[in-house]
Amino acid sequence: MNRIAQGLTLVLLGAAALTSTVATKLYLNWVKQGFGPFLIAAGVVMVLLGLLVIVAELRGERREAFADERDPAAEAHGGASDHGADPSGHGHDHSRAPAVAWLLLLPVIAVFVVAPPALGAYTVESTAGSSAPPPDQPRSGRFDDGLAEAGPNEVVAMDIRQFVMRAWIDEERLLAGREVELTGFAVPASDGEGWYLARLQMACCAADAVVNKVLITNEPAPEADTWWTVRGTWVEPAGEISDVSEHEFAVTEMESVTNPPDPYE
């Protein structure tokens, strides 16, 4: 990989980072919103570095540097390092990068050609059974859903994560009988009955996404991956709440969501 190629690769990679953050909101499909500014900064740095390298190369700077390097350095390096194992012959000529650097164009292709969507029903189905499990010890004060603060007849809008947390570990069962509003995408249930309203919870990027879902049986299943806001109540289980593996939700109203702002919770 010569220096023009390195510079152009960096410019393209930086452009991909900037496109997915500044020009579009694609980056929200992959990483947390908080990463936006860092991605922009990284994109700017890469574009600048790439341009600098290209400009320097076009001015012919490389040849003199190359000439400097050749004589003493090539000799000094010859024996000690493992050139045989390194097909790029790295160690002699610093102006060339190893072939693996071409792979930096893959994220560029991913952004401009594939534009990967947020994870959805496919991921929920293929990770069945690993729905966000109960934390070890329930502690008071760890609920962040505003259920306790809301008036008794108020509809409480919650994340599915918050709902599942309540349903799983709130021994006081505050959720019982309360009208709740949830937003998520539809996932067909693999074993036939009902469907799931699901949302993915992301700590950092899509690679660490965790599935949160509730089972809905009293409404016909909508098309997979369509987004819905549902109102209804928790179906209170008969036995121990911590033994429940799937939390059921009885829907009273549901409304289609055309474009959710952030695909993840």
Question: Would you say 119 or 241 has its CB closer to another protein?
Answer: 119
Question: Would you say 81 or 218 has its CB closer to another protein?
Answer: 81
Question: Would you say 97 or 250 has its CB closer to another protein?
Answer: 97
In the region spanning residues 221 to 260, those forming contacts with another protein, defined by CB under 8 A, are: 225, 258-260
Of positions 27, 163, 195, 234, contacts another protein by CB under 8 A: 27
Q: How large is the angle between the packed helices 36-58 and 3-18, nearest 10 degrees?
A: 150
Number of residues that bind another protein (CB under 8 A): 106
Question: Would you say 94 or 252 has its CB closer to another protein?
Answer: 94
In the region spanning residues 159 to 218, those forming contacts with another protein, defined by CB under 8 A, are: 185, 203-208, 210
Residue at 104: amino acid letter: L
Neighbouring C-beta atoms of residue 246, cutoff 10 Å: 15
Taking the complex as a whole, the smallest distance from the CB of residue 186 to another protein amounts, in Å, to: 11
Of positions 33, 78, 106, 218, contacts another protein by CB under 8 A: 106
CA angle 249, 251, 257 (to 5 degrees): 105
In the region spanning residues 34 to 73, those forming contacts with another protein, defined by CB under 8 A, are: 35, 38-39, 41-42, 45-46, 49, 52-54, 56-60, 62-63, 68-69, 72-73
In the region spanning residues 130 to 159, those forming contacts with another protein, defined by CB under 8 A, are: 130, 132-137, 139, 142
Which stretch in 125-133, 188-196, 230-238, 243-251 sits in contact with another protein by CB under 8 A? 125-133
Question: Would you say 148 or 176 has its CB closer to another protein?
Answer: 148
If one asks whether residue 102 binds another protein (CB under 8 A), the answer comes out as: yes
| Positive or negative: CA dihedral 233, 235, 236, 240 | negative
Please state whether 224 falls in left (phi above 0), alpha (psi between -120 and 50) or beta: beta
For residue 137 the two structure tokens come to 């010890």
Q: Which of 194, 195, 158 is nearest to 174 (CA)?
A: 158
Cα–Cα distances (Å) from 60 to 55, 66, 93, 226, in that order, read 9, 10, 16, 56
Q: Which of 189, 177, 192 is nearest to 235 (CA)?
A: 177
